[in-house]
Structure 1
Amino acid sequence: MALKLRLKPCERVVINGCVVQNENRRYTLTISNFAQIIRGSDILQEEDAVTPVRRAYFLIQSMLLDPATAAVGSGTVAEMMAQLYTTFTRPDIQDRIAGAMGHVGERDYYKALSALRPVMEYEGTLLSAANPAPPVPLQASPAVRIDRHAGG
Structure 2
Amino acid sequence: MHISLRAGEKIYINGAVLRADRKVSIELLNDATFLLEAHVMKVEDASTPLRQLYFIIQIMLINPNDSRTAREMFFKSIQMTINASDNAALVGGLRAVKTLFDGNRAFEALKAVRALFPVEAEILAGRDSSTPTQAA
TM-score bracket, normalised by the shorter chain, equals 0.7 to 0.9
> Would you say 1:52 and 2:88 are equivalent positions?
no
Look up the match of 2:100.
Answer: 103
1:113 to 110, 114, 118: 110
Could you tell me which runs of 5 or more consecutive residues in structure 2 were left unpaired when the two chains were aligned.
128-136
Identity percentage over the alignment? Answer: 22
Runs of 4+ in structure 1 deviating by more than 6 angstroms, as ranges, are: none
In the alignment, the residues of structure 2 paired with residue 50 and residue 130 of structure 1 have an alpha-carbon distance, to the nearest angstrom, of: 17
Larger Rg: 1
Cα root mean square deviation, aligned: 2.3
Q: Secondary structure at 2:32's aligned position in 1?
A: coil
Question: Cα offset for 1:16?
Answer: 0.8
> Would you say 1:11 and 2:42 are equivalent positions?
no
The change in CA–CA distance for 1:54 and 1:78 in structure 2 (over 3 A counts) is same
Look up the match of 1:20.
Answer: 18
In the alignment, the residues of structure 2 paired with residue 105 and residue 34 of structure 1 have an alpha-carbon distance, to the nearest angstrom, of: 18
> Would you say 1:74 and 2:71 are equivalent positions?
yes
Look up the match of 2:82.
Answer: 85
In the alignment, the residues of structure 1 paired with residue 32 and residue 86 of structure 2 have an alpha-carbon distance, to the nearest angstrom, of: 31
1:130 to 115, 118, 126: 126
Query: TM-score scaled by structure 2?
Result: 0.76
Q: Secondary structure at 2:30's aligned position in 1?
A: coil
In the alignment, the residues of structure 2 paired with residue 34 and residue 46 of structure 1 have an alpha-carbon distance, to the nearest angstrom, of: 27
Q: Secondary structure at 2:104's aligned position in 1?
A: coil
In the alignment, the residues of structure 1 paired with residue 53 and residue 120 of structure 2 have an alpha-carbon distance, to the nearest angstrom, of: 12
Q: Secondary structure at 1:130's aligned position in 2?
A: coil
In the alignment, the residues of structure 2 paired with residue 44 and residue 88 of structure 1 have an alpha-carbon distance, to the nearest angstrom, of: 27
The change in CA–CA distance for 1:94 and 1:21 in structure 2 (over 3 A counts) is same
Question: Cα offset for 1:115?
Answer: 0.9
Q: Secondary structure at 1:28's aligned position in 2?
A: strand
The change in CA–CA distance for 1:6 and 1:99 in structure 2 (over 3 A counts) is farther
Letter in 2 for 1:40: E
The change in CA–CA distance for 1:69 and 1:119 in structure 2 (over 3 A counts) is farther
Could you tell me which runs of 5 or more consecutive residues in structure 1 were left unpaired when the two chains were aligned.
132-152
Query: TM-score scaled by structure 1?
Result: 0.69
